[in-house]
A and B are shown apart, each in its own frame.
Chain A
């Protein structure tokens, strides 16, 4: 099919020539449409409706909520709490890194945001305690990926919008796989730490731990409000994101007193800008996905996949390999738009739960955040520790391996993701 060839080749050409992913998706679709003589009248409407979904409104709100809590100083408090609780153990700071990432993930829906917020404190502290230069940045970058697996999560919101599955259900389904990935990372760190000479910290008294807990309390309440609110039926995930943002503003202004009106203006502007970068990808990617679907290209690839794999288990393996490779070159949002229309029909055909498919895809793309060359988390971690991409790429290998093990478990043991929503009875 020449149209499909033109579409994917021009997209790859633009991508490799450093044209932003969003523009590459939009422009290659236009070229293919001109070739196929499909009228372009639907382009503006597709961009308009691509962004203007009420569900996707959760994206700016969650970004705002995360930025607000960060500005309010919540990352220091979470790190302090984790450090007082487990910091005295051997390799304690590595555990602190993973655990705070899990908690911060429950406030923020973004991988790079998690790395940026926690990394500035944890990475220098780990280097100082003797963890070497590459390992702390690599661990922080990989732990940051948990940010999109534990709810709230921007990729989950996007997948929910594309696949039409309940965002509430996929949010809960992400909790255990996220924790599992954290455990895998801690185990990998323990192997690495064994050979290192690390300065130990003094054990904190229960009183100090309690003090840290009360300091971090308002931040820890955020996930309770978001998840509790959704499951208590008080509000939709989009509204939960809005409530979380306002909660963050109130806590930052009146409890921690770190945010004044001028900061608030800047927070609003920065969050709007960050969400616009995501939404521009969403707009162009949904246009691309619309074209691929209406031209029957995705259907063709789906049918090919069904025939080539033949069984569910082989399909899942092929899917993971494709997504891991795609994750090296694409960001999570565009990958979701490109691959969901192809993979969802195959998954349904093989009786694989669509919510589970979303979780597995997101775990894949979380690993994609630390696979060079396009690994957004790696860039952020390198920026903090001032080491080269080459240096961190080597250090990150054991953590990628650990994450892939967690990925395979999540893929092939459906209960890991689906048991929690089942128990809680969330549809």
Chain B
């Protein structure tokens, strides 16, 4: 069984009196170790797909199995648990907590996972070392550059050894050379065995992935392997 299995997934929103079909029958399999880019223009439904994959939302119709668990049947509590253990989010705007050190930011998923203090420190420090920020542990986010902030966010995503790394426009707020560094880090994580799902509208970012899925009007219109 694939790591991610979407079958006939629909997501319908009510906006005013109108029904918006953000996702309109999506089937998608993601294998363990895949490096996937989800592409599409704005309004194509890629953000909605990302929220579903990240268990922030549940489908209106269809099924979503993550690691064999039927997500669409889960309660809010269970979804929170899945987000904690199985998903590592990386956002365009980094989404670090202000007035909280890099180390404490990275510790956050472990705090909610109930990991003890000593182990939490150790694992968070290890995760920061993996993204090359071992010496920035005590810094506050506002004392770090954009690239460094995104590395802290990636360390936070990695710290609980999730099944998938889910990155939503991870380089959208970074200059091009920093973007390359961050993408190099994703490449490296992928080579290390992590499953990475990128959501982006930039082709050169998507080019890092080994597989590209393109959405239009809530439907998958192409699914190609890069062959590199």
**Do the two chains bind?**
no
